[in-house]
Structure 1
Amino acid sequence: MDPSQFEKMFAQANSIMGPFADMILQTARFPPANGEALVVLDQACGSGVVSSHIMSRLYPEDKARLDLTCADISEPAITQMRRRIEASGWNNARAVTNDAMSSDFPSSHFTHIFFNFGPQILPDPIAGLKECHRTLRPGGVLGLSAWQVVPWAADYRAGIATDPSLPAFPTSDQLRYAFSSTPEKWDTIHDVTKHLEDSGLTAIAASSMDNTTTMTIAEVEAMLPYSLDMMIQKFWTKEEVEKFKVPATKAIVSYLGEKYGTGPVVWKWVAVVACGKKE
């Protein structure tokens, strides 16, 4: 991916996930006013939404005490993240390839770990939370978010359903476990709170929040190669993907045009935002 494409992807990701990143930082009361070192992990950093919000909310004296690690299992994401760090002049940050369920980070190392929409994409989310617990210092804080409502799924499903020749788009229950191989649910405050407790965290605060975005149909079409492909690769056969991806894209864009007309595509995203503390 060239830098311009990456910046467009970041801008779109930030419009959707940025408010949740801010809410995670607020819920975690970051940065603390104690003047101590901030040794922070942005886990499953992706395009760097959380890291950019960390940097934007810190005063110079806070940045002076920051040591930021951006980690992701995707090497392409880390390559782009390294470019962002260099271009932004974040001298106190680094980007590393990392498996969130089994990292080589030292135990009791980080003061804060932020995991924006991370657990749900892990094959074993609880293993990821326990790894966070292991690598947090005593008194350290984990902040995370988990989707409750991802609005594009309903529109994509309805669009594909307009063409009977296309394979079905996955159901809501299928999407819930698109990446995870374990049975935990993540779309209620109760469930997220329990998972944090089961991972050894205390002083848990959790709430639900929403973010409404407006996009043009062209902007939605631009995100289809990522959002649609991510799902059909999981649920359609290789032959179905090759044969039906283009017709599916056309069906979705046509449906959006009929539903929203010349107006914007208005989507309401809802998520649980939570944090917990390691004793």
Structure 2
Amino acid sequence: MTDCDQVFAGTIPRFYDTFMVPLIFETYAADLAALVAAAPPGAVLETAAGSGVVTRALAPKLGAGARYVVTDLNQPMLDYAASRQGPDSRIEWKQADALNLPFEAASFDAVCCQFGAMFFPDRVAGYAEARRVLRPGGRFIFNVWDRIEENVFANDVTDAVATVFPHDPPRFLARTPHGYHDVALIREELARAGFAGVQIETREKLSRANSARDVATAYCLGTPLRNEIEVRDASLLQHATDRAAEAIASRHGDGPVAGKIQAHVIVAAG
């Protein structure tokens, strides 16, 4: 992972929420919210909340007296998430590093994290922090993407953008979002962090968009892939987006498009 892999700033949060969230995140956010709410928690911590897609799905499922602390490393993303959520006295918004949480031990009944663990520089440390702030019997519920080959649009975009930079292809999507898919490694790292009970389910879903252009815009403008493109040649951002749109349209059609997505959903108990 490079430094720019974690930079969600500028217009990225807006493009991310407008295009990426409905494309691939909303359906898994509903799953995560249902898992968290299944054993009604009195206090929930969300890490790496991004633009707040899980927050919007989970908040309506929590009790009136629940405490819900929503955190992210990136203040611009957290600000965007808070603006989308609207007033809710149960929610506290706080910039925080998942590897160094500013909370007392045994403070929460559940910790949840949607597609954030892949970005942790030290995943065992991040998992250990989640376990530290959990109360006895609490659960750490999170998800990670499966390998990029099981996620059609991400793979299409990566291949298409590589043709624009053949000598130095941007590999953000394969390297980071889709770079942590080994189930045995996930189990091992959770065990090293002190989690004794781990359940992992691989869930396949269908990603849909109104057009190939929307998919290309989502990935090229709404993720740190944009940073990788601009570092190489900012003048080629539009060209790279066009090339991705053309590749998706040639494979999936000119109208509404659909492609397979796949992720691992993990429930860990201390």
What TM-score do the two structures reach when normalised by structure 2?
0.82
Query: Could you say if the C-alpha distance between residues 242 and 8 of structure 1 is closer, same or farther in structure 2, counting changes exceeding 3 Å?
Result: closer
Secondary structure at 2:222 match in 1: helix
Letter in 2 for 1:41: L
How far apart are the structure 2 equivalents of 1:7 and 1:170? Answer: 19
In structure 2, the partner of 1:188 is 182
Tell me how far 1:200 sits from its aligned partner. 0.7
In structure 2, the partner of 1:248 is 240
How far apart are the structure 2 equivalents of 1:115 and 1:245? Answer: 30
In structure 1, the partner of 2:105 is 107
- Whether contact under 8 Å (1:81, 1:95) holds in the other structure is no
Runs of at least 5 residues in structure 2 that lack an aligned partner in the other structure: 1-8
In structure 2, the partner of 1:226 is 222
Choose from 21, 31, 41 the match for 1:23: 31
How far apart are the structure 2 equivalents of 1:237 and 1:51? Answer: 31
| 2:212 aligned with 1:217 | yes
- Whether contact under 8 Å (1:14, 1:49) holds in the other structure is no
In structure 1, the partner of 2:21 is 13
Alignment map for 1:46-195 (pairs within 5 Å): 46-56=50-60, 58=61, 62-85=62-85, 87=86, 89-148=87-146, 149-163=150-164, 166-170=166-170, 175-178=173-176, 186-195=180-189
Aligned residues: 256
Secondary structure at 1:201 match in 2: coil
Query: Could you say if the C-alpha distance between residues 252 and 112 of structure 1 is closer, same or farther in structure 2, counting changes exceeding 3 Å?
Result: same
* Residue range with higher mean Cα deviation, 131-140 or 252-261: 252-261
* Residue range with higher mean Cα deviation, 119-128 or 5-14: 5-14
- Whether contact under 8 Å (2:199, 2:267) holds in the other structure is yes
How far apart are the structure 2 equivalents of 1:76 and 1:221? Answer: 23
CA RMSD, 1 decimal: 3.0
- Whether contact under 8 Å (2:187, 2:198) holds in the other structure is yes
Letter in 2 for 1:9: D
Identity of aligned residues (%): 20
Letter in 1 for 2:180: W
In structure 1, the partner of 2:48 is 44
Tell me how far 1:23 sits from its aligned partner. 2.7
Query: Could you say if the C-alpha distance between residues 161 and 206 of structure 1 is closer, same or farther in structure 2, counting changes exceeding 3 Å?
Result: closer
How far apart are the structure 2 equivalents of 1:63 and 1:176? Answer: 39
How far apart are the structure 2 equivalents of 1:193 and 1:176? Answer: 21
Letter in 2 for 1:24: L
Letter in 2 for 1:154: N
Tell me how far 1:195 sits from its aligned partner. 2.0
Query: Could you say if the C-alpha distance between residues 112 and 14 of structure 1 is closer, same or farther in structure 2, counting changes exceeding 3 Å?
Result: farther
Query: Could you say if the C-alpha distance between residues 18 and 161 of structure 1 is closer, same or farther in structure 2, counting changes exceeding 3 Å?
Result: closer
- Whether contact under 8 Å (1:40, 1:113) holds in the other structure is yes
- Whether contact under 8 Å (2:162, 2:170) holds in the other structure is no
In structure 2, the partner of 1:32 is 39
What TM-score do the two structures reach when normalised by structure 1?
0.79
Query: Could you say if the C-alpha distance between residues 70 and 212 of structure 1 is closer, same or farther in structure 2, counting changes exceeding 3 Å?
Result: same
Deviations 1:183-218 (A, max 9, x none): xx7313333222222211122211100120121123
How far apart are the structure 2 equivalents of 1:267 and 1:127? Answer: 34
Show structure 1 runs of 4+ deviating over 6 A: none
